[in-house]
Amino acid sequence: MFVAVLFVFTIFAAQLLRIQAFDAAATQAAAMSKRSVKSITPAMRGQILDTNGQVLADSVERYTIAADPQAVPAYTVKVDGQPEVVGVSRAAADLAPLLGMDVSELTTLFTRAKTRYVVVKKDVNPAVWRQARALGIPGISATKTAERIYPTSMALGQIVGFVTPATQKGGGGIELMLDKTLAGSPGTMIAERARDGYIIPGSQRVDTPAVNGRDVRLTIDADLQWYAQNALAKQVTAVGAESGTAVVIEVATGKIRAAASYPTFDPNDLAHADPKAMGNYAFNDAFEPGSTGKLMTMATALEQKVVTPDTGVIVPSRLPRGGERFKDNEPHGVEDMTATGVIAKSSNMGTILIGERVPPPVMDSYYRKFGIGERTPVGFPGESRGQLAAASDWTGSRRYTVLFGQGYSVTAIQQAGVFQTIANKGVRVPPTLVEGTVNDSGTLVPTPAPTPVRVVSEDTAVKLSRMMEEVTGENGTASAARIKGYRVAGKTGTADRYDEKLGRYNGFTASFIGYAPAENPKYVVAVFIQKPSAGMFGGALAGPVFNQVMTYLLERDNTPPSTKSTLDYHVWSKVPLSDSDPKVISDAQARRDGL
Amino acid sequence: MTRSLPIIGRLESPLTTYYLLLGTTVTLVVFGLVMVFSASSVEALLDDQASYAVFVRQLLFAVAGGVAALVALRLGVRWWKRLSFLVLGVAIVLQAAVFSPLGVEVNGNLNWLALGPLQVQPSELAKLGLVLVGALIFANKGPRVASFSHVVLPYVLPVTAVVLALVLAGHDLGTGLVILCIVAAVLAVAGASMSLFVAGTLLGALGVAAMVLTSGNRMSRITNWLSPACQSDPDGYCGQSVHGMYALADGGWWGVGLGASKEKWAWLSEAHNDFIFAIIGEELGLPGTLLILVLFGVLAWACYRLVSRTQDRYVRIASAGIMAWLLGQAIINIGAVIGLFPVVGVPLPLVSSGGSSLVTTLFALGILLSFARNEPGCRALLDARPSMIKRSLAVLPSRSPRRRSR
**Would the pLDDT of A221 be above 60?**
yes
- Give domain status of residue A408, yes or no: yes
Mark whether A334 and A425 lie in a shared domain. Answer: yes
A59, A261, A291, A562: which is the annotated catalytic residue? A291
Residue A381 has a pLDDT of 93
- Give domain status of residue A462, yes or no: yes
Residue B406 has a pLDDT of 47
Chain A residues with CB inside 8 Å of B234's CB?
30-31, 34
Residue A420 and residue A397: Cα distance in Å, rounded? 29
Q: Indicate yes or no: CB of B300 within 8 angstroms of CB of A6.
A: yes
**For A516, which DSSP code?**
S
- Give domain status of residue A207, yes or no: no
Q: Return contacts of B297-300, CB within 8 angstroms, 24+ apart.
A: B297/A5, B297/A6, B297/A9, B298/B20, B298/B23, B298/B24, B299/B20, B299/B21, B299/B24, B299/B25, B299/B28, B299/B323, B299/B326, B299/B327, B300/A1, B300/A2, B300/A5, B300/A6, B300/B327
Residue A93 vs residues A63, A104, A119, A216, B305: alpha-carbon distances, Å: 20, 9, 17, 44, 72
How far apart are the CA of B256 and the nearest CA of chain A, in angstroms? 12
DSSP string, B95-148: HHHTTSTTEEEETTEEEEEEETTEEE-HHHHHHHHHHHHHHHHHHHHGGGGGSH
Q: Phi and psi of B405, rounded to 5°?
A: -75, 150
Q: Indicate yes or no: CB of A9 within 8 angstroms of CB of B297.
A: yes
Total domain count for chain A? 2
- Minimum-distance CB partner of A12 among B285, B303, B335: B335
**Would the pLDDT of A537 be above 60?**
yes
Mean predicted confidence (pLDDT) in A372-397: 92
**Would the pLDDT of A139 be above 90?**
no
Q: Are A463 and A519 in contact, with CB atoms under 8 Å apart? A: no
Nearest to B265 by CA among A195, A202, A34: A195
Q: Indicate yes or no: CB of B42 within 8 angstroms of CB of A5.
A: no
Question: What tens digit of pLDDT does each residue of B175-218 get?
Answer: 888 998 898 888 888 887 788 788 888 887 888 788 777 777 77
Q: Which of the two residues, B109 and A446, has the higher pLDDT score?
A: A446
Q: Are B74 and B371 in contact, with CB atoms under 8 Å apart? A: no
Residue A492 and residue A470: Cα distance in Å, rounded? 11
**Would the pLDDT of A333 be above 80?**
yes
- Give domain status of residue A212, yes or no: no
Q: Is the pTM of this model over 0.80?
A: no
Find, in chain B, the residue whose alpha carbon is nearest to that of A36.
B262
Number of A to B CB contacts under 8 A, please give it.
Answer: 111
Among A90, A115, A147, the domain-final residue is A147
Find, in chain B, the residue whose alpha carbon is nearest to that of A192.
B262
- First-residue to last-residue Cα distance in chain A: 126
- Give domain status of residue A172, yes or no: no
**Would the pLDDT of A270 be above 60?**
yes
Q: Indicate yes or no: CB of B285 within 8 angstroms of CB of A24.
A: no
Residue A375 has a pLDDT of 93
Nearest to A461 by CA among A513, A409, A508, A518: A518
How far apart are the CA of A118 and the nearest CA of chain B, in angstroms? 25
Chain A residues with CB inside 8 Å of B188's CB?
1
- Give domain status of residue A213, yes or no: no
Share above pLDDT 70 across residues of chain A, in percent, rounded to a whole number: 100
Q: Indicate yes or no: CB of B265 within 8 angstroms of CB of A28.
A: no
Mark whether A324 and A468 lie in a shared domain. Answer: yes
Residue B392 has a pLDDT of 66
Residue B386 has a pLDDT of 65
Report cis status (omega within 30 of 0) of the bond before A126: no
Q: Phi and psi of A475, rounded to 5°?
A: -95, 0
Find, in chain A, the residue whose alpha carbon is nearest to that of B234.
A34
Tell me the pairing of strands A162-164 and A169-172: antiparallel
Question: What tens digit of pLDDT does each residue of A474-487 get?
Answer: 888 888 888 999 99
How far apart are the CA of B180 and the nearest CA of chain A, in angstroms? 15
Residue A167 has a pLDDT of 83
Mark whether A123 and A254 lie in a shared domain. Answer: no
Q: Indicate yes or no: CB of B293 within 8 angstroms of CB of A9.
A: yes
Please classify residue A552 by burial: count the beta carbons closer than 10 Å to its beta carbon, then call 0-12 exposed, 13-18 middle and 19+ buried.
middle
DSSP string, A414-455: HHHHHHHHHHTTTEE---B-EEEEE-TTS-EEEPPPPPPEE-
Residue B368 has a pLDDT of 92
Looking at every residue in chain A, the average pLDDT score rounds to 91
Q: Are A418 and A292 in contact, with CB atoms under 8 Å apart? A: yes
Domain that holds residue A73: 60-147
- Give domain status of residue A193, yes or no: no
CATH number, residue A460:
3.40.710.10
Q: Are B274 and B345 in contact, with CB atoms under 8 Å apart? A: yes
Chain A residues with CB inside 8 Å of B249's CB?
19-20, 23-25, 27-28, 31
Q: Indicate yes or no: CB of B266 within 8 angstroms of CB of A9.
A: no
How far apart are the CA of B329 and the nearest CA of chain A, in angstroms? 12
Please report which confidence band the pLDDT of residue A136 belongs to, taking 50, 70 and 90 as the band edges: confident
Question: What tens digit of pLDDT does each residue of A49-64 get?
Answer: 999 999 999 998 899 9
**Is residue A41 classed as helix, strand or coil in its secondary structure?**
strand
Residue A283 has a pLDDT of 95
Residues of chain A in Cβ contact (below 8 Å) with chain B:
1-2, 5-6, 8-9, 11-13, 15-17, 19-21, 23-25, 27-28, 30-31, 34-35, 192-196, 198, 200, 202-203
Mark whether A317 and A431 lie in a shared domain. Answer: yes
Residues of chain B falling short of pLDDT 50? 1-2, 403-406
Among A127, A147, A167, the domain-final residue is A147
Whether the CA torsion B168, B172, B175, B177 is positive or negative: it is: positive
CATH number, residue A135:
3.90.1310.10
Q: Indicate yes or no: CB of A9 within 8 angstroms of CB of B263.
A: no
Residue B389 has a pLDDT of 65
A291 is catalytic: yes
Among A99, A127, A147, the domain-final residue is A147
Q: Indicate yes or no: CB of B250 within 8 angstroms of CB of A17.
A: no
Mark whether A345 and A240 lie in a shared domain. Answer: yes
Burial A279-294 (b: 16+ CB within 10 A, else e): bbbbbbbbbbbbbbbb
Mark whether A386 and A499 lie in a shared domain. Answer: yes
Find, in chain B, the residue whose alpha carbon is nearest to that of A15.
B338
- Give domain status of residue A32, yes or no: no
